[in-house]
Amino acid sequence: MPQTRMMRELRKRICLHISPEPLVFHEGNLATEFGFSRTPVREVLQMLAAQRLVETRAGVGTIAPPLDGIRREKDFTAYIELTRAAAACSEGQRLSRAVQGEVLGHLSTVEMAPDRGLEAEDYVDISGELVEAMGQLVEDPIIRDAMTGAHWRLLRWRASDILQGGPGQSISMKENSAKIAAAVREGDPAKALLVCAGIGTELKDPAQRS
């Protein structure tokens, strides 16, 4: 689907943008670049907005705001807690074979990543497959959208780290993906989500959480 290619390309641009200035998207320019009318361009920007990758500002247009270093720790915490909530909502559910197949397809891309450190662009491509896979494990659309948005923001931080000299996390990604795939084959979405976030596989009763 052509819009899927555009979606992936714009997400990559956002994740690789480390300037303190926002990245601005103009519908007309994107329509010309990708050979679409403005309607599908607008639809893609709306999907990116749902994933909290862009926002609309009056008089400016659609922008991807820069990462806020002050919020980095809170951004990581938000992803962990939203994934924990997604797992709690998925506890006791079983994955259909169709969903298992789709998720494992995404994960296979991660598992084929090279063992050495990745360039930022490759990291975004491969980690994007993991984000897509995890989103398919959550039935509740509100929790799914919130978790996916937080996951993309985490991915932006990781890509920024690589661009500024940090290593791509190839080996840990592959090891984590293999563990997630094992949980998916068991049909257990809650376990797969918890493994992905690295927060254990035991869910507590909400009343017992600190």
**What per-residue string of b and e applies to 166-195 under the rule 16 or more CB within 10 Å gives b?**
eebbbeebbebbeebbebbeeebbbbbbbb
Q: Three-state DSSP class for 110? A: helix
What domains sit in the chain, N to C, each tagged with a CATH number? Answer: 2-64 (1.10.10.10), 69-208 (1.20.120)
Amino acid 204: pLDDT? 44
Assigned token pair, 210:
């600190």
Q: Report the largest interatomic distance among the alpha carbons of the chain, rounded to a whole angstrom.
A: 55
Digitized pLDDT (tens) for each residue of the chain, 210 residues in all:
678 889 999 999 999 998 999 999 999 999 999 998 899 999 999 999 988 999 988 778 899 999 999 999 999 999 999 999 999 999 999 999 999 999 999 999 888 877 666 788 888 988 899 999 999 999 999 999 999 999 999 999 999 988 887 655 555 778 888 999 999 999 999 999 999 988 765 444 333 333
- At CA 112, angle to CA 109 and CA 115, rounded to 5? 135
Q: Global pTM? A: 0.86
Amino acid 206: pLDDT? 36
Amino acid 171: pLDDT? 54
Amino acid 174: pLDDT? 81
Amino acid 120: pLDDT? 86
Q: Three-state DSSP class for 23? A: strand
Q: Three-state DSSP class for 138? A: coil
Cα 178 from Cα 86, distance rounded (Å):
20
For residue 4, count other CB atoms closer than 10 A to its CB. 9
Assigned token pair, 108:
């296979």
Q: How many residues does the chain have?
A: 210
Amino acid 136: pLDDT? 94
Amino acid 168: pLDDT? 55
Cα 200 from Cα 36, distance rounded (Å):
45
